[in-house]
Amino acid sequence: MDRRQLILGMGGVVALGACRSADGKSRPSAARADLYQCEGCEGVFERQPTASSARIAPPGEPGEPLVLAGTVIALDGRPAAGVTIYAYHTNSAGFYANGTPETEWSRRHGRLRGWAKTGADGRYRFETIKPAPYPDRSLPAHVHLTVLEPGRRPYWIDDIVFDDDALVDAAYRRRMENRGGDGIVRLDREADGRLLAVRDILLERHPA
């Protein structure tokens, strides 16, 4: 059994034991005071997805095809259903380009964005391209993620970044807050040639 089958084919088993992120850090014992300080999280409300899988980049989009997938895990270690994940990222040139005029976030976040909602197995999946770093290389290539749990306010979690990116250096790793678990992912290659990045999400504790 390969890594993809283990992670995606046994989501329930993985989730039950996943109270720690991939880097071994535990969830904080109390809610973060700034959990809801979240510029741009309003974008999560712009769609009401019903499917756990969504396409961000249309066919033919320049860039290397990438699948982002994972399991959303509740505080009790079980898969979390009904959680909306909003994802957006730069294009292959490093820009949030070609946004649409409907809202502030449709303009600022660009065209490459998508929404998925977890089912009973807690899984989500996005088909897209691998983003590029900003042209000034001030940040590594990354994917922004916002989480909306049923009946809760939205919050952001650590960006997805790629372990083999030279910009994900020791200083960058030290700055990561481990929000929603570890955002540093390893890239694997699927049988069809697409890149695969698995980013499990550990739901955060909420203020009382």
- Position 157 pLDDT exceeds 80: yes
Closest CA to 148 of 124, 127, 128, 126: 124
Segment 116-134 mean pLDDT: 98
| Tokens standing for residue 39 | 């510029």
**β-strand 65-73 against 187-189: which pairing, if any?**
unpaired
Residue environment code for 146-158, b if the CB has 16+ CB neighbours within 10 A, otherwise e: bbbbeeeebbbbb
What counts of helices (H) and strands (E) characterise the chain? 4, 11
32's CB contacts (< 8 A; 6+ apart) are 179, 204, 205
Contact in structure between 187 and 159 (CB atoms under 8 Å)? no
Residue 89 has a pLDDT of 99
- Position 9 pLDDT exceeds 50: no
Segment 172-178 mean pLDDT: 96
11 backbone φψ class: left, alpha, beta (φ>0; ψ -120 to 50):
alpha
Q: Which H or E run contains 53?
A: strand 53-55
- Position 15 pLDDT exceeds 60: no
Percent of the chain with pLDDT over 90: 86
- Position 5 pLDDT exceeds 80: no
Q: Rounded to whole angstroms, how far apart are CA atoms 129 and 194? A: 9
Give me the chain's average pLDDT, please.
90
Q: Where are the domains of the chain?
A: 3-27+38-202
Q: Homologous superfamily of 3-27+38-202 in CATH?
A: Aromatic compound dioxygenase (2.60.130.10)
Closest CA to 75 of 122, 42, 34: 122
Q: Which H or E run contains 66?
A: strand 65-73
Contact in structure between 129 and 92 (CB atoms under 8 Å)? yes
3-class DSSP state of 65: strand
pTM: 0.88
Q: How many other CB atoms sit within 10 Å of the CB of residue 101?
A: 7
Residue 80 has a pLDDT of 99
